[in-house]
Amino acid sequence: MGRRRKPRGRRFDGVLLLDKPQGITSNEALQTVKRIYNADKAGHTGSLDPLATGMLPILFGEGTKLSRLLLEADKVYTTRAKLGVTTDSGDSDGQVLETKAVPAISDEQLESVLAGFRGEGTQIPSMFSALKKDGKKLYELAREGIEVEREPRPINIFELTLLGRGDDWIELKVHCSKGTYVRTLVEDIGQALDCGAHVVELRRTNVAGFQPEAMVTLDALNLLRDEKAFAEMDAHCGPINSLADHLPRFELTAEEVRWVVQGQGLLIPGAPTSGDLALVDAEGQLVALGAMMDDGRVGPTRLLIAGQ
C-alpha cells in the first residue's frame, strides 16, 4: 500500500503585514500565520528578535520570489534604550556585563552625539545577530561562548530623532538602510555617552514604505478564523504588486511580455543603469523584476509567472 500524500494547503499570492507580538521568533510567527491561512507556501522577510514587535511582512505564493526586495529595503524603528547598563546581546534579553552611573547629559550634548551617527557609516554586527560564519549563525556561536571577528559593514542612518528622554533612558526613531542593527546602534550611542546602553523596547513601523496602519495582529487573525470570516481574513492580504511599488516601473506590450517570459532582454529608453526595475503588463500586473545587462538591454531577473 502506497504512502498517503500529505494534503497541500491553499495556493494563493499576496503579502500580509503582520504586527509581530513580543516574545516569539519571526519563524514562530510565520508558522502561525501559515496555519491560520492554510497556505501552501509562505515566508517572511527581515527577522525580528523575540524582544521586538511590529512590521513583519509575510509573503504567500509568488510573493516569496520577491523577498529580496524587502530584505534590501529601508526600514523604520522606534526604540527605547536603557542608559548605564550594557548586556552581552545589546538588549534586555541578555546578561548584564557592566553597570555605570549615567552622567548629566544636556539636550545639546545628546543631540551632538546623535548627529555623529546620522548619514553614511559603518557598523560591526553584534555576535547575537543571525549572520553566519562558516555556515553557523553568530548568535549560536555566542551562546557557546565563542566570539569571532566581524567585518564592519556599510550602513546609512537617514533619520535619528529623539522622541523622549529621562534620567536613564532615551527613546529614538531610526530610519535606516538594510543591514543596520538597532541594538548595535544603541550600544554605540551608549558608548559615545560614556555610560553604556542597551535596547529594552524595539518596534518596526515601516518596511519599504509600507505604513503601520496596514498591520494586523495574530489575535485579530485568529478571531477571524474562529468566526470563519475568511473573506475578511483574506482582505488583509495585499497584492504582490505592492512589493515593487518603490521601484521604477515600465509597462510592457503584449509582445514584450512574451519576450520577457522567454528570458529575453529589452531595450528600454531611460531605464536606470543599476538597481531593480518593475516590469508590468498593460493591466499593471507585475510580470517580472528586471535589471540592466552589460549589453544595455533590460533582462528579467525574477519572473512572476506561476510555475516559473
Marked catalytic residue, from 13, 19, 40, 49: 49
49 is catalytic: yes
Cα 225 to Cα 93: distance, rounded to the nearest angstrom: 33
Q: What is the 3-state secondary structure (H, E, C) of the chain?
A: CCCCCCCCCECCCEEEEEEECCCCCHHHHHHHHHHHHCECCEEECCCCCCCCEEEEEEEEHHHHHHHHHHHCCCEEEEEEEEECEEECCCECCCCEEEECCCCCCCHHHHHHHHHCCCEEEEECCCCCCCCEECCEEHHHHHHCCCCCCCCCEEEEEEEEEEEEECCCEEEEEEEECCCCCHHHHHHHHHHHCCCCEEEEEEEEEEECCECHHHCEEHHHHHHHHHCCCHHHHHHCCECHHHHHCCCCEEECCHHHHHHHHCCCCECCCCCCCCCCEEEECCCCCEEEEEEECCCCCEEEEEECCCCC
Cα 18 to Cα 30: distance, rounded to the nearest angstrom: 9
> Which of the residues are catalytic?
49
